[in-house]
Structure 1
Amino acid sequence: MSHLFLRSTSTYLAMSKAKPTYIYKLVSFSSPIPEPIPKALPLSELDAASGFMHFSTAAQVPRTLKRFFAEDPSVTILRIDYSKVEEEIKWEDSKGTAPGEMGGEGIFPHIYGRALGSADVESKSVLHRNDGNWDEALKNAESWLVY
């Protein structure tokens, strides 16, 4: 399996056409995930407003983290086995307004019509922002963030 930190553009392009092993749900520190994870988690404000759950592939996590969670001191990331939700996934732009090809530039996995819950979560990790950026946390999570 390819890991998060890609060595070349050609590696990324080859990987982006392949089906992901996992997709990831990033959750702000302001919405802590209960232990144990419940059967249904509440939707985030963004997911509720959008009408679907936003996910990222491993390759998209760094950009999503830095863009939408830049000020969060920590973020919980839920890892979802793609094969278990594949039939529900719609690959679209971040706003859900334009469908796209899996792995396409700016195209993300979305799930409509339901909440995420314990049965969906393969594992979770909490990343902590250090010195104002996410680089060290991402490097430490490299082996866990698998495409």
Structure 2
Amino acid sequence: MPPPTYLYKILDAPPPSPLPKTLPSTELDAKDGFIHLSSAEQTPITAKLFFARCEQLWILRLKPEALDGKIEYSSDPNNGIVDGFAHLHGTRRGLGKDNIEKVLEVNREGAVSWVEVKDMLRLQD
């Protein structure tokens, strides 16, 4: 399977505007020592699993070739992920204005799952 054209980072709060050179790490990324990323197909599943209580998310679209560090993939067959989640290890730059191509604000209403939100299903691989 070819690598995705884009990778995505989900945030539960808006990033600063304009984007800084480097965004602060999320609590989970700092704890785990790498940046958690998803492909377009995985992003709605990731949102469903880890952001179920949020009504609004900010999705950072990243080009893998603009990231420093090493991208490694890990699978989670119990949650339907067989192609592997992308993890960015050893980055010195992190995420910021030089590698975030686009910030997408995505909203959902009521009890609708993130896997049903049209804007999430329209992300590009």
* Fold shared per TM-score above 0.5: yes
Relative to the length of structure 1, the TM-score reads 0.72
SS at match of 2:48: helix
Q: 2:89 matched to 1:105?
A: no
Which one-letter code corresponds to 2:82 in the other structure?
E
Q: Using the alignment, how far apart are the partners of 2:70 and 2:50 within structure 1?
A: 24
Number of corresponding residues: 118
Q: Using the alignment, how far apart are the partners of 1:57 and 1:46 within structure 2?
A: 18
What does residue 125 of structure 1 align with?
Answer: 104
Q: Which has the higher strand share?
A: 2
Q: Return 5+ residue gaps in structure 2 as ranges.
A: none
SS at match of 2:10: strand
Relative to the length of structure 2, the TM-score reads 0.83
Offset, 1:49 = 0.4
Q: Using the alignment, how far apart are the partners of 1:61 and 1:140 within structure 2?
A: 11
What does residue 146 of structure 1 align with?
Answer: 124
Which one-letter code corresponds to 1:113 in the other structure?
G
What does residue 99 of structure 1 align with?
Answer: none
Which one-letter code corresponds to 1:131 in the other structure?
G
What does residue 74 of structure 2 align with?
Answer: 92
Offset, 1:61 = 0.7
Q: Is the 8 A contact 2:19 2:97 kept in 1?
A: yes
Which one-letter code corresponds to 1:130 in the other structure?
E
Residues 1-147 of structure 1: pairs in structure 2 closer than 5 A: 17-29=1-13, 32-85=14-67, 88-93=70-75, 105=82, 107-114=84-91, 115-133=94-112, 134-135=114-115, 138-143=117-122, 145-147=123-125
